[in-house]
């Protein structure tokens, strides 16, 4: 939390603490991913502390959280400064946009506060047989590079969209699933 110029507290950072075995459970992973995405859509930053790291390297984790908090406050201050420099007309337009029926879009930052890596030079729109396995792995790594927790099906959907396939044929799904499996973090 941080105090604004109007003596109002603003929440800017969520800290989640859990164990790797808990987080590996499919239902917990989905629940945590959805909670994180919703909070990020509201403008919060996200920091996760694994119980193993807390017990083995507590001081390092405390310092990492302090840095994450400082960064979250800096980003919130910049956002507030940008908002305060807008004209009343621009502010009215952003309020109209905020009230639209579309779902909130999370910021480009990830759970660790880093943006997604640059897109690899893999051209979209080719036939699946025209992509090499290394190109498909590069797309999957790029999707994962923002640090968000995703199921394999979500990665599959994002990869299919990134490569601009209009359908989900068995060969497409098989090739992308092979790339997902070969790039799965240990």
Residue ranges of domains in the chain: 2-98, 128-182
> pLDDT tier at 178 (50, 70, 90 boundaries)?
very high
Contacts of 130 by beta carbon, 8 Å cutoff, 6+ apart:
none
User: To which residue do tokens 């908090």 refer?
Assistant: 69
- Segment 74-130, tens digit of pLDDT: 888 888 787 777 665 555 444 433 333 333 334 444 444 457 888 999 999 999 999
pTM greater than 0.75: no
């Amino acid at each position: 939390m941080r105090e604004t110029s109007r003596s109002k507290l603003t929440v800017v950072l969520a800290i989640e603490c859990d164990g790797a075995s808990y987080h590996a459970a499919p239902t917990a992973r989905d629940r945590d991913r959805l909670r994180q995405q919703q909070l990020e859509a509201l403008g919060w930053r996200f920091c996760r502390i694994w119980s193993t790291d807390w017990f083995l390297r507590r001081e390092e984790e405390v310092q990492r959280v302090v840095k994450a908090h400082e960064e979250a406050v800096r980003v919130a201050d910049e956002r507030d400064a940008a908002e305060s420099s807008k004209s009343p007309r621009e502010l009215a337009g952003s309020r109209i946009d905020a009230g639209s029926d579309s779902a909130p879009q999370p910021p480009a930052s990830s759970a660790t506060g880093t943006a997604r890596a640059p897109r690899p030079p893999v051209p979209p729109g080719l036939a699946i047989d025209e992509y090499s396995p290394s190109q498909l792995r590069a797309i999957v790594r790029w999707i994962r590079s923002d640090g968000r927790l995703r199921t394999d099906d979500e990665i599959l959907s994002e990869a299919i969209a990134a490569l601009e396939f209009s359908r989900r044929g068995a060969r497409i799904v098989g090739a992308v699933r092979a790339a997902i499996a070969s790039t799965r973090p240990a």
